[in-house]
Structure 1
Amino acid sequence: MSGDTPRPGSRAGAHGARPTRRLLVLGGAAAALTAVAGCGLRLDLPQPPPPVPTRKPAPDERFLLAVIADLRALVQAGESLERSDLDGDARRLLRAVVAVQQRQVDVLTGRLTNAGVPTAEIEAATAPPPAPKPAATTASGSGTTPAPATPAPTSSTTATTSPDVAGIRTVDDLAATLADVGPDRWQSLAATTESTRDLVLSAWSARLASAVLLGETVDPAATPSAARPRVIDQTAPLVYGFEVVAAQSTGGRRTRALETLDALRRLDLAVSGPTTSTPGGWALPFPVTTPAAAQRLATHLLGTAVDATIEVAGAAPDGPALDDTARWSARVQALAVDWGMPLSPFPGTAT
C-alpha cells in the first residue's frame, strides 16, 4: 500500500472533507440571496418608514382657516394704520378695534389646535399677504401724481376670503372693509356646526360694530329675515328704556342719552318700518328716579341687548337671519361703547 494514501478515519481524511462542506454552505447562501434578489428587494438599503397616518380634519376646519386668514389680514392693515399720522383719539379707537380682531384670531386658532390641527399648518394656511407700502409718486409735468398701488399677492387659501389689504390706505378704507361681509359668507356660516356658527356670528357682529365705530354705515338688511321679529322685540324696549334714561339724566349725560335715543329710534324705524305708534308699557328692571339709576339702566339695557345676539338669530338660522342679526347687534354694540362699555370680541358668548 502506498504511503500517500490516507487511511480511513485518519486526521488527514477529516481535513480533506472541510472544503467540501464550506462550498455547500456558501452555495446555499448564494442561492438564498439570488432568490431574495429575484423578488425585487434591495438588501443594501434600509426599509422605508411606514406611511404617516392621515390627520382627520377638525369640524369646520377649512371655514375657520378662511376666517382666521381674513382676521389676520385685517389686523395687519390696522397695525399699519396705527403707525400712520393719526390724532390721539383716532389712534386709541383703532388700537381697540385691532385688539378685538387679534383676540378673535387667538380664540379661533386655539379652537383648531384643541381639535388637533397643528399650529404650523394654521400659520401656513392663514399667513396674511405682505403689508401695503405707501403709494409711490411719479413725476408728471410740474407736479407729482400718485402711482397706482400694486395689489399684494394672496395665497391660494385666502384669495377668495381675505380683504384687499393693499387697498387699505386710510381708516375709512379699513371701516369699509370691515363692513364688507357678503351674503355668500353668511350662507357658508349657516352651514357650519352650531358651536362654530354661534362663535363666528358673534365675532362678525363685533367686526361690523368696529366698522360703525370707525365711521361706516351698517344698515339693516333691506329684506326682513326670519330673525326680524326678534330684532324688533329687542329694539322697541330699548327705545322706551332710553326715554326714561333721558328723562332722569342731567347735563352731558342727558345729551348723550338723547343722542342714543335718537339713534335707537332710527334703528327701530329701519327694522320695523313706519307704524302709527310704538307700543309701550314695558316694565323697567328696577326703579329709575335718579341720574345714577338712569346711568345704570342705560348700561343694563344695552348690555342685555348685546348678550341676546345669539338668541335673536334663532335655533337654526339661515344666511339672511345671521346677516340681519349681526347688523342689528353691531348698531347696538357701537352705542354701548358710547356708554363706557368696551367692545367685546365675542359679544353674547362666554368666550
Structure 2
Amino acid sequence: MDGDTRGLGSRVMAGLGQPPRRLFVVGGGAAALALLVDRGLRLDVPPPPPPVPTRRPAPDEALLLSAVAGLTRLVEAETEVLAGPEAGATVRRLRALNREQLRVLRGRLTNAGVPTTVIDAAAAARPAPPTTSTGSAAGTPAPGSSPTATASDASGPDDPVRTREELAARLDALGPSEWTAVARASAATRDLLAAAYAQRLAAAVLLGRDVAVLESPSPVRPAIVARTQPLVYAFEVVAAQSTGEQRRAAESTLAGLSRLEVAVSGTTSTTPGGWALPFPVTSAADARRLATLTLASAVGAGLELGGPNPSPTSLEDVARWSANVQALAVDWDLPLTAFPGAAS
C-alpha cells in the first residue's frame, strides 16, 4: 500500500502527459515572471513615446513678432491709399521700405529658429490700439506739415486708411509701450527697431504731419542740440555759396533746421562758434557736396546719439529729431532708407 502511495504522484503526472520535472520548471518561470510584473514591467503595454521637445523662444521673439504685425498693417494701409485718388510716388516708396523692413525682421526670426507658421500667425493678429506719446510734443511744424496734428489723433489699427493724412497719423502712432519695449531689447534688436521707427516717423513728416520733438527733454537732448547746431551753420554756408534753385533749396532747408534747433534747445537759433568745415567751400558744387555730406552724417548718427543704454524717452527723442532731418535730406537726393544708421 505504501508503495502504491509513493508512486501515485508519478502515475497521475504520467496520466496528464506532464513529466514531474517540467512542473518544477514551469512553476519557477511563473514565479520569476510574477516578480518582474510586481516590479513594474508590463509585457502587454508598449513603451510610452519620448516627450516632444519644447521650442525655446528666440531672443526678443515677442517684440519682433509684434513689429511684424504692425508693419503688416502699415503695408495694408499703404496699399489702400495707393488704390485711391491720393496715390503717389511717396506712398509707393514708403510701402517698398516697409516691405523691406518686413523681409529683414522675418529673416531675423526664421534664422533664430522661429517657425514661419508662428510668424504668419503674428502677422494676421490685430495689434493693440495706439497710445499717446511718452511726452508732450513741442516745436514748430516742418514745411508743409499740419500745425495741430499730434500722435493722439492717430486712427486705430482696424480703422480704414484712405488718405495720406490718415496714413501719416497711422505712421505716427508710436506710444510708450513701443519705446519701452525697444529700450528693453537686446542691442541688435534695439538698434534695428529704433532705426525703423525713426524712418516711420520721417515718412509721416513727408506726408505733411508735424512730428515735433518732445517737450520734456530726454537725457540725450544735449547731444541732439550739439548735433543740430553744426547743421545750421553748414547750411548757412551752403546757402551763401549757392545760386538759383540750389540756393532756394538751401534756404528752405536752413529754415527747417533753424526751427528744429529752436525746438530742441528752447532758445533762439544762433550760429555756433568753433565749428570747422570738412573742406573749403568756394563754389556751388562744393556747397552741394557739403549739404549732402552733413545731412547724410546726421541721418547716420541717430543710433549713436541714443548712447549704449538709452531710456525709452531718449529713443523717442532721437527718433523724432532724426525724422525731421531725414525728411529735409530727401530734397538733397538722400532718400529714406529702411534702417537709417543701422546694419540690417
With the length of structure 2 as denominator, give the TM-score of the two structures. 0.80
Unaligned 5+ segments in structure 2 are 1-13, 132-155
Partner in structure 1 of residue 203 of structure 2: 210
Code of the residue aligned with 2:341 in structure 1: it is G
Which of 120, 124, 144 is the matching residue for 2:121?
124
CA drift of 1:245 comes to 0.8
Aligned residue number for residue 228 of structure 2: 235
Q: 1:259 aligns with which of 226, 244, 252?
A: 252
Structure 1 Cα separation of the partners of residues 308 and 104 of structure 2: 23
Aligned length in residues: 307
1:17-64 per-residue CA deviation (whole Å, 9 max, x = no partner) reads 59x979x979978x969x8699696947x6543222111111111111
Q: Tell me if 1:327 matches 2:320.
A: yes
CA contact (8 A) 2:106 2:119 kept: yes
2:118 counterpart of 1:81: no
Displacement, 1:98? 0.9
Shift of 1:194: 1.4
Cα distance in 1 for partners of 2:41, 2:129 equals 48
Aligned counterpart, 2:266: 273
Superposition pairs for residues 241-252 of structure 1, below 5 Å? 241-252=234-245
In structure 1, C-alpha distance between the alignment counterparts of 2:215 and 2:341, rounded to whole Å: 24
1:290 equivalent in alignment to 2:283: yes
Residue of structure 2 in register with 1:97 after alignment = 94
SS at match of 1:287: coil
Q: Deviations over 1:75-117 (max 9, x none)?
A: 111112212123xxx5210011111111111111111212121
Change (3 A) 1:276 1:337: closer
SS across alignment from 2:214 = coil
**Aligned pair 1:68/2:68, yes or no?**
yes
Equivalent position to 2:166, from 141, 156, 173? 173
1:36-51 correspondence to structure 2 within 5 Å: 43=44, 47-51=47-51
Q: Quick one: distance in 2 between partners of 1:177 and 1:57? A: 30
User: Which amino acid in 1 is paired with 2:91?
Assistant: L
- The equivalent of 1:56 in structure 2 is 56
Q: Take 1:270 and 1:42, find their aligned partners in 2: how far apart are those partners?
A: 81
Deviations along 1:260-314, one digit per CA (max 9) or x if unpaired, are: 0000000001001124843234211111111111111111010000110011111
The DSSP-based 3-state class of the residue aligned with 1:312 is helix
1:166 and 1:307 map into 2 onto residues whose CA distance is 34
Q: Distance in 2 between matches of 1:272 and 1:57?
A: 43
* One-letter amino acid of the structure 2 residue matched with residue 270 of structure 1: A
Alpha-carbon deviation of 1:125?
1.8
Per the alignment, residue 333 of structure 2 pairs with 340
By how many angstroms is 1:193 displaced? Answer: 1.3
* Residues 248/28 of structure 1: CA separation in 2 closer, same or farther (3 Å cut): same
Q: Could you tell me how far apart the structure 2 residues matched to 1:179 and 1:127 are?
A: 21
* RMSD between aligned residues: 3.0
Q: Residues 39 and 277 from structure 1, CA distance in 2 versus in 1: closer, same or farther, beyond 3 angstroms?
A: closer
Hey, what does 1:151 align to over in structure 2? none
2:262–2:269 CA contact under 8 A, matched in 1: no
* 1:159 corresponding residue in structure 2: 128
CA displacement, residues 319-342 of structure 1 (integer Å, 9 cap, x when unaligned) = 111110000000000111111112
Q: Conserved in 1, the CA contact under 8 Å of 2:192 and 2:343?
A: no
Structure 2 letter corresponding to 1:105: L
Residues 25 and 313 from structure 1, CA distance in 2 versus in 1: closer, same or farther, beyond 3 angstroms? same
Identity %: 50
- 180, 187, 191: which one pairs with 1:194? 187
The residue identity in structure 2 corresponding to 1:84 is G
